Structure 1
Amino acid sequence: MDRSTLSYADRVHDRPVGPCRLLTLEMPVSGFVSWRGSFRTHPELGAHDDLVQRLMVGMLDKGTATHDRFELAALLEECGAQLSLSSDGLYVDVSGQALTDDLPTVLSAGADMLQRSSFPEDEYPKVQAQALADVQRSMQNTSSHASRALMQRLFSVDHPNYSRPFEDELQGLQQVTREQAQAYHQDHVTPHAFTLVVAGDLSHDAVESAVRDAFGAWSGTAPAPTHATEATACAPGTATVPMADRDNIDVRMGHALTMRRDDDDYLPLYLGNYILGGNFSARLMATVRDELGLTYGIRSGLSGISTEYDGSWTIGVTLSSEALQHGLDATRQVVRDFVEGGVTEEELDAKKTTITGSYKVGLATTKRVAQSLLTNAERGFPVSYLDEFPERIRAVTLNEVNNAIQTHLDPDALHTAMAGSVPEEAEEAAA
């Protein structure tokens, strides 16, 4: 039997291995595997734990109780492997790719970094300086400023979707000490909700053995969650971030959504938004870009929606100073017409085809399959959701889409954030 014709639910091996939920998938590739994993850390966001976590993660590959950073780097280089540890809000992520035969060695190195990092004193200033440099680079970007300003209007500082002002982020990173990062590691880096997905040319039993050897002794429980789950209730308004000598102004518009990723309305709203602003053939592009020539690009999306906290609906557009007001008015009018008039059967059928086709193509790589399985696991979805998603999309009806649009999207509730050389009259209007 050709295993590649079986459903993912039939092909994925899903079982506990020590403190880890391990999912393995054999794929028709030769000699290599990809993996994606995560565990919950529950940072106290209102106390800037997310900044501590970022610096802590940056130290993990700088040395352990058994290897200095040069030995760790040499080990990975000798294998030709990729191994990445990153901070992702409420999680720490682990990912990589390696030759199948080298997987035990690379997983062992990753486990060593996570469980026995030594936090060498001479490395911390370098990690801190790199984090500060990353923020300073982002501060030159009008898009980043506009996006952050919008999230500050929609969410409180203890919400996972909040984005603090760049100045606060710089100050916070400067104040985090090596001792704080090390203490955070001790308290928060545990195998809480630890899930690991490995996909590629593999033996399920061999991967299980490698994971047990690497992570079997890992123990501990993360602190209880403290983050907010609901958006901030406030009247719509405008925030401006003046930045001198910019050719264009980045604009973000949006409002919070009181829904979860597993709500019945999510997929109908996802489809509706895709018709509005999901790709180059969407309504916003057709009108604001193609018909009126006011921008090179405009998109809308559902952002930051999880199964446990609110997210948002956002629109992003770049406009010149001269076209700013015209572009804002045109965008709002397209949104209003969209919400009031709904979508057509032809639009819905076309987007269903686009979404399901893109989804199928995306699952052709080991990296993408591993990430999709991990994301579904984090959401509490079954493995079968990977197979079911296209059918769920195709099953959504026109009435469900239009009802979701009119229920959850409100043109009168849109907040606006702008960054760039904003005209004086626009700043005065926003005051």
Structure 2
Amino acid sequence: MTAVTTHRTAEEIGRTATGPRPLPALGETREVALPDVVEQTLPSGLRVLAARRPGVPMVELRLRVPFAGSDADHPAVAELLSSTLLTGTADRDRVEIDDELAAVGADLGVSVDPERLSIGGSGLSDGLPRVLAVLADVLTAATHPDAEVARERERLAERIAVARAQPRTIAREALQRRRFGDHPITREMPRAEEVSAVTAEQVRALQAAALVPGGSILTLVGDIDPQAAIAHVGDALAGWTAGHDARELDPPPLPDPGDLLLVHRPGSVQSQLRLSGRALRRDDDGYAALQLANLVFGGYFSSRWMENIREDKGYTYGAHSGTEFVPGGALLGVETDVASDVTAAALLETRYELGRMTAVPPSADEVEAARAYAIGSLLISLDSQGGLAGMLTSLAADGLDVDWLRAHPGRLTAVTTEQVAAAALEFFAPSTFTGVVVGDAEVIGAGVRALGGIEGP
């Protein structure tokens, strides 16, 4: 005889005859031991950080080179440089580079943005000297062959043309212009026609002028001897020199509060809400309190804003707020994508939740939940070699080190509910934000204008 089963809803599963099932208490947060970091600045000006993190016989490598430029064609040339850096040197062609890395289980990738050029990858620990030899070769002798530049130029132009049609790209560019005007930090993606005009000679000239060690940071984390690893770097990269430092991006002017700009995107069935206000950098005494206040508002799935516009109203699949660090400052970002017909309603609820952060401060329970999440997610992110390497590089660029990282869980633990409430009052008032609403103005315009604080078509 077959047993008859009935479907039970999630609410039914979570309840008993006497009420909701009790949740088990959270266990004690496990500490992740952070290794000592050995640091040395080479004669070339390259800062090298090395940390031993055994467990798997691998090493993670992160190279950060300041890579700012003010010329109009800099973003396009820089994108092509990053795309062709690993395509050949005087001694190795693309296949030989790939084969040599593969022989030690390694890979390298290159990316660039208005602030930096980054090279990252991993490989077997005992293959580190070989990886460094390849890295040194491309840093000092990359040839950017004409055929490779032509091939990557065509591919990149096509990819950019597609990306520029995407709503999130349009919204990001509009937000950057709203926040920073024409500052070089806004030039995150060149136009396809700008890429198509770049020559191989321009790429080679930019490498010679800008890809230099002074002010750059190389981080190694893995199953290594830190002192020996730094010695390998010194030997391998001895020929990477220049008479000047890499160019840092000038700090942009931080945006003032103001109206949201309505950006018309004809035919769009969705709208992008992007709000931005000022925040604090990591070394500020109030950073930990702001971090917890942000989590309560919209920084994780159990936040107030997410509960409102996703779980309760169903306006969006996801909503997120967080801190974005820029040279000389930090910004608080609030973003979500919603259907056109609920754009005004979603904006209203967003402003409501921002205002509620100031009028109804985070409760002790909300702060404790945010604290547990903040500490737990930080420790999880540092549990891998790659996560630690990335964090150490980011901190070093901001003038911080592993001691800041070790102390941060303690800072989060020490923050009081009153301090979080003060951060909420200072940084989350709707009047402290500016930003953009991107969508079909003919569909959403009347609704969002009726809320006030909107300018544009």
Q: Residue 109 of structure 1: SS of its match in structure 2? A: helix
Q: 1:55 aligns with which of 72, 75, 80?
A: 80
- 1:81 — aligned with what? 106
Q: Distance in 2 between matches of 1:72 and 1:388?
A: 41
- 2:28 — aligned with what? none
Q: Residue 47 of structure 2: SS of its match in structure 1? A: strand
RMSD over aligned CA atoms reads: 2.5
Matched, 1:337 2:362: no
Matched, 1:414 2:433: yes
Q: 1:147 aligns with which of 147, 159, 172?
A: 172
Aligned length: 419
CA-CA distance at 1:130 after TM superposition: 2.4
Summarize the Cα distance change of 1:66–1:89 in structure 2 as closer, same or farther, 3 Å threshold.
Answer: same
In the TM superposition, what are the counterparts of 1:77-226 in structure 2 within 5 Å?
77-160=102-185, 162-163=186-187, 169-220=191-242, 221-222=244-245, 225=248
CA-CA distance at 1:418 after TM superposition: 3.2
Letter matched to residue 342 of structure 1: P
Between stretches 135-144 and 56-65, larger displacement belongs to: 135-144
- 1:313 — aligned with what? 332
Q: Distance in 1 between matches of 2:161 and 2:84?
A: 20
Q: Is the 8 A contact 2:263 2:438 kept in 1?
A: yes
Q: 1:42 aligns with which of 68, 81, 97?
A: 68
- 2:11 — aligned with what? none
TM-score w.r.t. length of structure 2: 0.84
CA-CA distance at 1:232 after TM superposition: 4.3
Matched, 1:291 2:316: no
Question: C-alpha offsets along residues 64-112 of structure 1, whole Å, 9 cap, x if unaligned?
Answer: 1211222112212333311122213322212111111211111110111
Identity of aligned residues (%): 24
Letter matched to residue 191 of structure 2: E
Letter matched to residue 445 of structure 2: A
- 1:24 — aligned with what? 50
Q: Is the 8 A contact 1:156 1:232 kept in 2?
A: no
Question: C-alpha offsets along residues 1-57 of structure 1, whole Å, 9 cap, x if unaligned?
Answer: xxxx99536x3222234433222222232322112121223322x634233222112
Q: Distance in 2 between matches of 1:349 and 1:85?
A: 40
- 1:347 — aligned with what? 366
Q: Is the 8 A contact 2:179 2:255 kept in 1?
A: yes
Q: Is the 8 A contact 1:195 1:374 kept in 2?
A: yes
- 1:327 — aligned with what? 346
Q: Distance in 2 between matches of 1:128 and 1:338?
A: 48
Letter matched to residue 345 of structure 2: H
Structure label with greater radius of gyration: 2
Q: Distance in 2 between matches of 1:425 and 1:104?
A: 58
Question: C-alpha offsets along residues 382-423 of structure 1, whole Å, 9 cap, x if unaligned?
Answer: 221221111121122223222223223341243342334454
Q: Distance in 1 between matches of 2:197 and 2:258?
A: 34
- 1:271 — aligned with what? 292
Summarize the Cα distance change of 1:397–1:183 in structure 2 as closer, same or farther, 3 Å threshold.
Answer: same
Gaps of 5+ in 2: 1-30, 450-455
Letter matched to residue 281 of structure 1: S
Summarize the Cα distance change of 1:86–1:29 in structure 2 as closer, same or farther, 3 Å threshold.
Answer: same
- 1:375 — aligned with what? 394
Q: Is the 8 A contact 2:67 2:246 kept in 1?
A: yes
Q: Distance in 2 between matches of 1:213 and 1:228?
A: 35
Q: Distance in 1 between matches of 2:281 and 2:184?
A: 15
Q: Distance in 2 between matches of 1:234 and 1:269?
A: 18
Q: Is the 8 A contact 2:66 2:249 kept in 1?
A: no
Q: Is the 8 A contact 2:64 2:119 kept in 1?
A: yes
Q: Distance in 2 between matches of 1:391 and 1:158?
A: 37
Q: Residue 288 of structure 2: SS of its match in structure 1? A: helix
- 1:240 — aligned with what? 263
TM-score w.r.t. length of structure 1: 0.89
Question: C-alpha offsets along residues 154-197 of structure 1, whole Å, 9 cap, x if unaligned?
Answer: 1132252x256x7x623332333322222111111110222222
Gaps of 5+ in 1: none
CA-CA distance at 1:61 after TM superposition: 0.9
CA-CA distance at 1:272 after TM superposition: 0.8
Letter matched to residue 110 of structure 2: L
Letter matched to residue 77 of structure 1: A
Letter matched to residue 41 of structure 2: P
- 2:422 — aligned with what? 403
Summarize the Cα distance change of 1:254–1:12 in structure 2 as closer, same or farther, 3 Å threshold.
Answer: closer
Q: Is the 8 A contact 1:288 1:330 kept in 2?
A: yes
Q: Residue 47 of structure 1: SS of its match in structure 2? A: coil
Between stretches 60-69 and 412-421, larger displacement belongs to: 412-421
Q: Is the 8 A contact 1:149 1:239 kept in 2?
A: no
Q: Is the 8 A contact 1:33 1:99 kept in 2?
A: yes
Summarize the Cα distance change of 1:247–1:121 in structure 2 as closer, same or farther, 3 Å threshold.
Answer: same
Letter matched to residue 231 of structure 1: L
Between stretches 419-428 and 288-297, larger displacement belongs to: 419-428
Q: Is the 8 A contact 1:230 1:258 kept in 2?
A: no
Q: Is the 8 A contact 1:8 1:384 kept in 2?
A: no
CA-CA distance at 1:229 after TM superposition: 2.9
Summarize the Cα distance change of 1:381–1:197 in structure 2 as closer, same or farther, 3 Å threshold.
Answer: same
